[in-house]
């Protein structure tokens, strides 16, 4: 269940008020607006950082806010840059390599409760 002190109950979220966490080497993220059905997360990557291949039951759409990334989805690989996006269906293996420093905006449905447990 979602914690009532989290951004889930806020209508306006200022990024300066949300802490960054480090889930992996060279990667930091901010869990921004969410409720139990939807979540938006900003993820910063240092050049060379790897979002390891994984899968989850959530639908995900990701917008490349800055930088460039080699993105793998279901065995296919594509280089994406600022302004591009990608969609990941449930349970499809995916990952990313930062070809340069950059930032991704992830949207999940439903919310990734496991992210909240690690926060």
How many residues in total does the chain contain?
119
Helix (H) or strand (E) segment spanning residue 118: helix 113-118
Provide block-wise average pLDDT over 10 residues at a time, the chain (119 residues): 53 92 96 93 98 97 98 98 98 98 98 83
Of the candidate CATH numbers 3.30.750.24, 1.20.1300.10, 3.40.50.620, 2.60.120.10, the domain formed by 60-119 belongs to: 2.60.120.10
Res 5: pLDDT: 45
Q: What is the pLDDT of residue 118?
A: 67
DSSP 5: T
């Amino acid at each position: 269940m979602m914690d009532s002190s989290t951004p889930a109950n806020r209508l306006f979220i200022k990024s300066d008020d949300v802490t960054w966490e480090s889930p992996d080497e060279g990667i930091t993220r901010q869990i921004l607006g969410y409720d139990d059905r939807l979540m938006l997360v900003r993820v910063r990557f240092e050049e060379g950082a790897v979002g390891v291949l994984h899968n989850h039951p959530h639908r995900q759409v990701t917008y490349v806010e800055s930088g460039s990334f080699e993105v793998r989805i279901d065995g296919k690989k594509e280089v994406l840059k600022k302004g591009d996006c990608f969609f990941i269906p449930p349970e499809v293996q995916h990952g990313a390599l930062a070809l340069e420093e950059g930032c991704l905006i992830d949207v999940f449905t439903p919310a990734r409760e496991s992210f909240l447990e690690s926060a």
